[in-house]
Amino acid sequence: MRANQLILKNIGLVLFTLLIGTSCEEGRTTDAYSINGVIRNMPDSTKVLMYLDMDTILDSTMVINGKFQFKGEIKRPTRVVLRIESTRDSKTFWLENQKIDIIGEKGNMMNSIAVGSKTEEESELLLERKDSIYREMESLEEILTDINRDSLFIVYEKMVDVEAEITRDFIKDYPESFMSLTALEGFVMRRLGAVETGKVFSLMNKKLQSTKEGKAITKFIEVNKNPKVGEKFVDFEMADTKGKPIRLSEMLGKYTLLEFWSSSCGPCRQFNPELVQEYKLYKDKGFVILNVSLDTNKEKWLSAIEKDSLIWQNVSDLNGLQNLAALIYGVDAIPENFLIDENGIIIARYLRGDNLKEKLKELFEVHTSM
């Protein structure tokens, strides 16, 4: 698939010369952007919208003779989406104050070629480096079933670690890139942990470090502990549904499941009935659950708790992915959990489905009968 995209890119570069009649190096500017697009088979007066995010429209224009243009200024490289009005036909790319040429065709904007943005070129390079690991991930998804999901999940997690390492090496090669900054601020820093994140972050210049992403990375480095299985839990305090502060250390039972989730997380919500079942089975034997939500909307959080019958303690600081506990524990995806024993030692992580049921049965039924 990537090979086909590279072929399309080469063809696109040739077509730019024929259709636009200018080199992508000509007319570049450092204080404004100019987007020049060519869309094959697109009727005149078709509206093209440029989004900063899913809801914010930055600009719009019309297709005339198969071409369109945007001009303006932007403070820093930013990912934007070009979308054909009233359709899902779109192209996501990095916009910066340069001359950017785009060529595509109606119905296939996703595979359009964007040339002229240095950050976009670096984004493509990172994708190329990740191509092989993405192929391996896709192969796992193709054979995923309810029977093998737990064993494949362990393999998948190791692949995610490899993906993070690829990104880390890319950042070392391109420390001045906005692509490196945004890649690090995502799941990568949580996989790498505070120490390794600090090393690659220190390679970036002050301008990148002072951005909102840079400040989020700085906070992560300050608070992250990434406790491993076999290590002692890390304490934290957070407000419950009524605003009362709850401390993890005061919640510990014989065995405590620290569960990270959110109301908008499909897999989390699907897993909740199993969690309710296991809680009812062992709560009188010392099983405790503390749910930490990565929600930002309190009403949606409370509604999900009620709908899913989460009758144990629930806390959140409503900071989404910047949730303090998630930063401390290095949570990069949800659902996620840590199982803690009565001595405060983390004895398991990533317990899902049969793995959770078998572990709790071992702890509460087999051990207690011995």
Average pLDDT over the chain reads 90
> Tokens 């001045």 sit at which residue?
176
Look up tokens 């065709």; give the residue: 105
**Average pLDDT for 86-101:** 96
Task: Give pLDDT tens digits for 320-358.
Answer: 999 999 999 999 999 999 999 999 999 999 998 888 999
Query: Is the pLDDT higher at 24 or at 223?
Result: 223
Q: Mean pLDDT, to the nearest integer, of 18-22?
A: 36
Q: What is the pLDDT of residue 30?
A: 60
Helix (H, G, I), strand (E, B) or coil at 250: helix
Most trustworthy range by pLDDT among 153-157, 307-311, 332-336: 307-311
Asked whether the predicted pLDDT for residue 216 surpasses 50, the reply is: yes
For the entire predicted model, the pTM comes to 0.81
Is 20 or 186 the better-scoring residue by pLDDT?
Answer: 186
- Predicted pLDDT of residue 156: 85
pLDDT band at 105 (very low <50, low <70, confident <90, very high): very high
Q: pLDDT at position 77, please? A: 96
- The mean pLDDT of 292-309, rounded to a whole number, is 98
Tens of pLDDT along 114-135? 999 999 999 999 999 999 999 9
At residue 369 the predicted structure's pLDDT band, cuts being 50, 70 and 90, is low
Does the pLDDT value for residue 242 go beyond 50? yes
274-154-256 Cα angle (round to 5): 45
For residue 293, the cross-strand partners are 261
Distance CA 123, CA 127 (A): 6
- Amino acid (one-letter) located at 341: D
Whose CA is closest to 305, among 259, 365, 343? 259
Residues 6+ apart with CB under 8 A from 234: 225, 227, 328, 329
Q: What is the mean pLDDT of residues 76-95?
A: 96
The beta strands (E) that lie in the chain are given as 33-40, 47-51, 57-62, 67-72, 78-84, 90-95, 99-105, 113-115, 237-239, 245-247, 255-261, 287-293, 313-315, 336-341, 346-349
Q: What is the pLDDT of residue 367?
A: 62
The tally of CA atoms less than 13 A away on the side-chain side of residue 7 is 4
Based on the number of CB atoms within 10 Å of its own CB, is 33 exposed (0-12), middle (13-18) or buried (19 or more)?
A: buried
Q: What is the Cα 277 distance to its own chain's centre?
A: 30
pLDDT attached to residue 370: 54
User: What does DSSP say about strands 99-105 and 33-40: parallel, antiparallel, or unpaired?
Assistant: parallel
The residue that leads in pLDDT, 7 or 145, is: 145
pLDDT at 23: 36
